Structure 1
Amino acid sequence: MPPLWAANATAGSQWVTSFTLTNDDGTLMSIVGKSFEFVVRASATDTSPTPLAKVTSSSATAAGYITVSTATSSLQVVLSPTATSGIPPTGSWHSLWLDPGLPDATLHLSGPFYCQAAPAP
């Protein structure tokens, strides 16, 4: 996975993306017993206690969820329409964390999160 990755979503729509985690040598990373968090903040330096959107692998919320497959070392991140409707068009920044809140928490990727409106049907 690239360390810097730009995400694009449509405001008010479900956003779904998948990642496969690999080691430096290309082999699948062992993610058994690991937890994940995907967060969208107002900026790359925002440290406010309430992000624009946050989903985890531990439980689903109104913002969405993360599904983990240990067999394929993959994640599916889902943000709900409620979550994407609260993200401004530009300036937001996202991060995917492995074992967030632990001393060995690892940032797997981050980058701008663009959330544009779309014309109504």
Structure 2
Amino acid sequence: MELLGAFPDIEDLAMELLEPAGPTVLATPEVITPPLIVIRRTGGFDDVITDTPRIQVDVFGSTRRQAADLAETCRQIILASPATGIGHASIDQAWTETAPTFVAYDDRNTQRYVATYGLALRRAR
């Protein structure tokens, strides 16, 4: 039996996709310097042909407005991603599961918005 190639790593792909919007990382650093985008895969499924990951995007800003604007920029980049040819993946669909929502953060000088997105992508050929 021949194994199939791996699906693209959605976290790496999302970092490449969102990097033009601002500094992008995979884990929340101990010290946050806004603006900052944090990406993590939070689940999903596949049907052997298509991987359908769910990703959470946390954005941090110095002000609530900066964080809200950055969150909306990330949303629009993700929604525009199908057929863009990012990396070696083919993104077929992208949708918002949870729109950017303000979530209080422990530091008064740091504001956060959190959103969840679904994508459908295929292996590189």
TM-score by length of 2: 0.35
Normalising by the residue count of structure 1, what TM-score does the alignment of the two structures yield? 0.36
User: Which structure: greater helix fraction?
Assistant: 2
Higher RCO (CA-CA < 8 Å; seq separation 6+): 1
